[in-house]
Amino acid sequence: MISLVVPTYNERENITQLVERAGAALETTGEAFELILVDDNSLDGTAEEVRQLQAGLPWLRLVVRQNERDLSTAVLAGWRAAQGEILGCMDGDLQHPPELLPKLAERLRQTNADLVVASRAVEHGGVSEWKFRRRIISWTATLLARLLLPRKVRSVRDPMSGFFLLKRAVIEDVELRPLGYKILLEVLSRGVYAHAVEVPYTFQERAHGGSKIGASQVWSYLRHLLRIGLGTGQSRRLEKVNARVSPVASYKNK
C-alpha cells in the first residue's frame, strides 16, 4: 500500500482539486493507497472541507492537530498513522503536480531505489516562474545543506524537495527530529537507505493562497541544519557550535 501524506494549513481553496488529482493519480498505480491529510487546525475550514470530501472516498483520511503548526512534524504525524509499506509526502498547494505520483511509484517498485525524489535540479526539471530573489534563496539554502551536511545530502541533487516516496524501512528504526519545512533533509541525513533516485518535475506556481515561508521558517531551517550536523556528526564545521534548539516530535514517538 502507498500512504501519501499531505500537510495542510489554510488550503481550503486548493483541497478539493488536490484530493481529486492525487486520488486519480494514485488510482492509476494499480496499488492500494491512502491519502492522509494532516491539518494544523486551519482557520479557513480546510478540515471541514476534507470531511465533506470523505463521503464515498474510503481512501481519504484526516488527522487534525490542535496545538502544532509545523510542516515536517505534520508529515511525521501522518506517517505514524499510515498503514502502507510505501510512505510519501507532497505539499497541499498544488505546486507539486500529483500526476507525477505514478512515475515515482513505478521507479520505487521497479528499481533498487529505497527513496525516489521529485527533483527540480536534474535534467528536464525546474521551476515555472520564480523571481530572481526566490531563486537565490533556494540556491543558497541548497548550498548550505551541501556544505554543512556533505555525506548523504550530496547523493541527491534536490535535497530541498518536499515531494518524494520512500520505503518504510528507510525510517522505521531511526529517530527523526525535523524542524521547519525541509523533511527530506532529515530523511537523507538520518534514514537507512542504499540508493536514492530522482525524477524530474517542474515546480508550479500557486493558483490560490499565499506562501507561508517567512523569516521564522528561514531561522528554523538554519537551526535544523545545525541540529542535523551536530547530531549525526556529518559536519566537522559544526562541532564547536553550541546551538540551542527546542524539542520536536520524532517519527518513533507514538
Question: Residue 114's domain is classified under what CATH number?
Answer: 3.90.550.10
Q: What is the span of the domain harbouring residue 141?
A: 2-238
Q: At what angle do helices 12-27 and 46-53 cross, to 10 degrees?
A: 40
- Residue 57 DSSP class: -
User: Minimum mean pLDDT among 27-31, 78-82, 243-247: which range?
Assistant: 243-247
Is residue 101 situated within a structural domain?
Answer: yes
Higher pLDDT, 192 or 240: 192
Residue 138's closest CA among 92, 95, 169, 85?
95
Question: What is residue 227's predicted lDDT score, i.e. its pLDDT?
Answer: 73
Does 246 fall in a domain? Answer: no
Mean pLDDT over the full length of the chain: 84
Q: Give residue 189's pLDDT.
A: 86
What is the number of domains present in the chain? Answer: 1
**Runs of H (alpha helix) within 54-178:** 71-81, 101-110, 132-148, 150-153, 169-172
Q: Give the Cα separation of 68 and 38 in Å (integer).
A: 11
pLDDT above 90 covers what percent of the chain? Answer: 55
Per-residue pLDDT, averaged over 237-241, amounts to 47
> How many alpha carbons fall within 13 Å on the CB side of residue 142?
17
pTM of the complete model beyond 0.85: no
Domain-located, residue 249? no
Report the b/e string of 189-213 with b at 16+ CB within 10 A. bbbebeebbbbbbebeeeeebeeee
Residue 93 lies in a domain: yes
Handedness of CA 244, 66, 206, 188 (dihedral sign): positive
> Is residue 118 in some structural domain?
yes
CA distance 144 to 130: 20
d(CA 208, CA 167): 32
